[in-house]
Amino acid sequence: MNNYYDVAVIGGGIIGCSIAYYLAKEQLSVAVFESGEIGKKTTSAAAGMLGAHSECEDFEIFYPFARSSQLAYLELEQELKEKTGIDIRRTTGGIYKLAFSESEKRQLQSLSSLATVEWKEADDIREREPGISEKIVGAAFIRDDVHVMPEAVCRGFSKAAQIHGAAIHEYTHVFDIQKTGGHYLIKTQAGDFEAKYVVIASGVWSNALFKYLGLEHRMVPVKGECLSVWNEEIKLKHTLFHEHCYVMPRNDGTLVIGATMVENDWSEKPALGGIEQLIMKAKGMLPSIERMKIASFWAGLRPKTFDGKPFIGFHPEQDHVLVAAGHFRNGILLAPSTGQMIRDLILGKQVRKDWVDAFKIDRKNDVFV
């Protein structure tokens, strides 16, 4: 077994596997170390929305980054299927970001001004979605905010990375990282490994490694609870979105309803109160949902930074250590752009300076100032 790699990626969720894929394509020797199974933590709990528009409030820096990642999925869908046979199940249809009042309509004006977004009046929406609430005044229609199956994307990245020579070490917990000369010693219960570069990409569980690496910032978990129901009532063609909650149709005949935001809760089990909250919110958008049968429910832990933006970039003092964590609600959406950015930073390629500055881990914390 090889014990030396160009890059060691700590974390086998969609972010870590994306990084491994893009690096392995450049013929770097890469290893991914995952404490459990690939893609089975936060990635598996995500709905998979590619909400570059619907989740965006910063149109100067975050939106271009998110939009480039969203567009990357167009190429990835075919690329991963050709390489691995895995269908990431990218859908069509888009999102209706609903407004229930004139005030909410005004709040959507900046979003609706984008060339990729179109305002739709309530009557027009009801023609396409007859089951929608009678209380809406309209919606911003975002055709490109579709969704994928997160675990399928993660498996696709992982398998394609292996085809390009990457090693995937599942059930391999990293408990320490030590700098030794010009490389790093990765200490695991399966033995020691060495790497020239280390990338920390283990979501909210990156905090423990941050401590070893002398990084002050921490992430807090924000539990997201979801449920799915069997859709035997109507044929919902678009995702409905309002105040960070959504009703999303999947090709298997279910509707996914999500997601709560319970800050600083480390439990990965959904609570009755959270599920009740989601049901009430979903009924407000799609009244007939109350008659549908529950298929399943689950929860995952989103990693949130102090300002809600991810940490992507170099350690401020160790130029061969990088971080890619803290993607909060947008890990699935941002996986391609994050993998590409980490690749470019390691290879010394040009990266937009505003992205480097916005996502650097030692950026100033102004939240409590």
Give residue 156's pLDDT. 98
Question: How far apart, in whole angstroms, are the C-alpha atoms of residue 151 and residue 141?
Answer: 27
Give residue 297's pLDDT. 95
Token pair belonging to 122: 């309530």
- What domains appear along the chain, each with residue ranges and CATH number? 4-86+149-218+306-359 (3.50.50.60), 95-144+220-304 (3.30.9.10)
Residues 6+ apart with CB under 8 A from 296: 227, 228
Query: 281 by DSSP, 3-state: which?
Result: helix
Query: Which residues in the chain land under pLDDT 70?
Result: 1, 366-369
358 prior amide bond cis, ω within 30? no
Query: 41 by DSSP, 3-state: which?
Result: coil
- Taking each helix axis from N to C end, the angle separating 62-84 and 150-163, rounded to the nearest 10 degrees, works out to 60
Tell me the one-letter amino acid at 246. Y
Give residue 57's pLDDT. 78
For the beta carbon of residue 90, count every other beta carbon within 10 angstroms.
Answer: 18
Number of residues assigned to the chain = 369
Token pair belonging to 221: 């978990």
pTM exceeds cut of 0.85 = yes
Long-range CB pairs of 175-181, under 8 A, 24+ apart, other chains included: 176/212, 177/10, 177/209, 177/212, 177/213, 177/321, 179/318
Give residue 42's pLDDT. 95
Question: Is the CB of residue 53 less than 8 Å from the CB of residue 117?
Answer: yes
Give residue 366's pLDDT. 65
